[in-house]
Amino acid sequence: MSSTGFLSTSNLYEPEKERILRYIDQWLENGGERSPGWLVSLLEKRLCEYHQAEHCVAMSTGFWSLVASLRLSALDAPEVIIPSFTYRRLADVVFWAGKVPRFVDIDESTLAISPESVERAIGSNTAAILAVHPIVNCCDVSRLTEIAAKYAVPMVIDAVESVHETWQGKRVGSFDVPEVFSLHASKLINGLEGGYVCVNDSAYAGRLRDFRSRDKSNARRLKPGHWLASDMPDIHAAFALAGLDEIEENVRHNRKIYRAYQRELKGVAGIRLLAFDEAQQTSFKNIVVEVPGVSGEGRDRIVRNLNQADVLARAHYSPPLHIKSHEYPVLCPESLPATEHAARALLNLPCGFRVSEADVTLVVAMIKSLLSYVPGSCDG
């Protein structure tokens, strides 16, 4: 429907080509392939400044950055506490870290991992907490940090969705726990593919560098499972550096799209736009709306109809992980009512670099006509 074809829910930011090439030239002048990791080091330095972190270690993907952080943090116990309403591969992360995921509920109002639910799940089997920032705003870092400290359980934060944000005025990436980010093309900073971890502990940063190293002798020197060739290619760092230079333009575009949705959805009955907390710094990256209704059928019908028109809206974090089937053991001893409600009610609408304000007007017009559809008549 738009000039670019499909309307995606991914950020897909494209930095200026000249800027990317300038970084690549800089690398070539400094040895190019004979100095692997040169641009990656520059990126790490820049990301430290951006996040106000002491150390940053870049790796091949966000996924392996999470696995590495869990492997290095977890206690010698079997379970890792994670939300169920989250990134579709989060349980796989725990599996690859050699642990069993234990699902907990979210907080109904923030949609973030619930600190109360985490506290109830902690026991002698707990190896770590893997907290995750939700797509809109942040999880309760202060409460979760208190709980982790109270029970002496290590915590890792999947901060992929909160890259540009602050929590109570403090930069995400600067908290004194491993915080993990992704540079996949769908995320705020597009490095084509890639991930990184921000930490303040220099010994921990050293262990992360050993973990990802190309140097195979590490495999013999390190504890089993504490090494996996997972370096980031320098070309990816060139993209990410250019994206980081242009972050303000990226966010400005996202804010414009968010404002357009606010305007267009105002007064539309039956739909609620999830609001960014503008008292904090935020990226305005994703558009999430709630379509109330118990069964989820109304939401799914809207998604289906939009998809047929090349509008790639998606059910938000649905199905939740605890109701998916897994080829490895998982634990879910409590019911997760807030998760199950959210998984039926929310959807992601088109956003990001390739979506224009005119696209927003069209998408909302389509939604309005779908909302006025009367069940029983012909479902297009």
User: In terms of CB distance, is 7 or 132 closer to ligand PLP?
Assistant: 132
Beta-carbon contacts of residue 372 (< 8 Å; ≥ 6 apart): none
User: In terms of CB distance, is 132 or 336 closer to ligand PLP?
Assistant: 132
List, in sequence order, every beta strand (DSSP E) within the chain: 55-59, 79-83, 100-104, 126-132, 155-158, 166-167, 170-171, 179-182, 195-199, 272-273, 287-290, 314-315, 346-349
* Three-state DSSP class for residue 2: strand
Least distance (Å) between residue 63 CB and ligand PLP: 3
User: In terms of CB distance, is 107 or 161 closer to ligand PLP?
Assistant: 161
Paired tokens of 107:
């907080």
Mask of contacts with ligand PLP, 27-66, x by CB under 6 A? Answer: ----------------------------------xxx---
Q: Are 371 and 268 in contact (CB under 8 A)?
A: yes
Least distance (Å) between residue 65 CB and ligand PLP: 8
Task: For residues 351 and 12, give the distance between their C-alpha atoms in angstroms, rounded to a whole number.
Answer: 9
User: In terms of CB distance, is 236 or 354 closer to ligand PLP?
Assistant: 236
Least distance (Å) between residue 89 CB and ligand PLP: 7
Q: Are 61 and 182 in contact (CB under 8 A)?
A: yes
Q: Which of 85, 87, 96, 317 is close enough to bind ligand PLP by CB under 6 A?
A: 87
User: In terms of CB distance, is 112 or 132 closer to ligand PLP?
Assistant: 132
Site for ligand PLP in 131-190 (CB under 6 A): 132, 158, 160-161, 182, 184
Residue with tokens 């992601």: 348
- Told to check if 195 binds ligand PLP by CB under 6 A, we report yes
Annotated catalytic residue: which of 17, 150, 170, 187?
187
User: In terms of CB distance, is 61 or 282 closer to ligand PLP?
Assistant: 61
Site for ligand PLP in 309-348 (CB under 6 A): none
Mask of contacts with ligand PLP, 93-132, x by CB under 6 A? Answer: ---------------------------------------x
Q: Are 258 and 287 in contact (CB under 8 A)?
A: yes
Task: For residues 183 and 243, give the distance between their C-alpha atoms in angstroms, rounded to a whole number.
Answer: 10
The closest residue (CB) to ligand PLP is 62
User: In terms of CB distance, is 122 or 157 closer to ligand PLP?
Assistant: 157
Least distance (Å) between residue 240 CB and ligand PLP: 12
Give phi and psi for 96, each to the nearest 5.
Answer: -65, -20
- The verdict on whether 17 is a catalytic residue reads no
Task: For residues 197 and 182, give the distance between their C-alpha atoms in angstroms, rounded to a whole number.
Answer: 9
Residues forming a β-bridge with 104: 83
Residue with tokens 């091949």: 60
User: In terms of CB distance, is 139 or 302 closer to ligand PLP?
Assistant: 139
Least distance (Å) between residue 87 CB and ligand PLP: 4
Binders of ligand PLP: how many residues, by CB under 6 A? 11
CA distances to 181, 213, 230, 323 from 99, rounded to whole Å, are 21, 23, 20, 19
Q: Are 91 and 65 in contact (CB under 8 A)?
A: no
Number of Cβ within a 10 Å radius of residue 196:
29
6: left (phi over 0), alpha (psi -120 to 50) or beta: beta
Least distance (Å) between residue 6 CB and ligand PLP: 19
Least distance (Å) between residue 126 CB and ligand PLP: 21
Site for ligand PLP in 361-380 (CB under 6 A): none
Least distance (Å) between residue 243 CB and ligand PLP: 14
Beta-carbon contacts of residue 18 (< 8 Å; ≥ 6 apart): none
- Told to check if 231 binds ligand PLP by CB under 6 A, we report no
* Three-state DSSP class for residue 131: strand
Q: Are 70 and 300 in contact (CB under 8 A)?
A: no
Residues near ligand PLP, by CB under 6 A = 61-63, 87, 132, 158, 160-161, 182, 184, 195
Any idea which residues carry the catalytic annotation?
Answer: 187
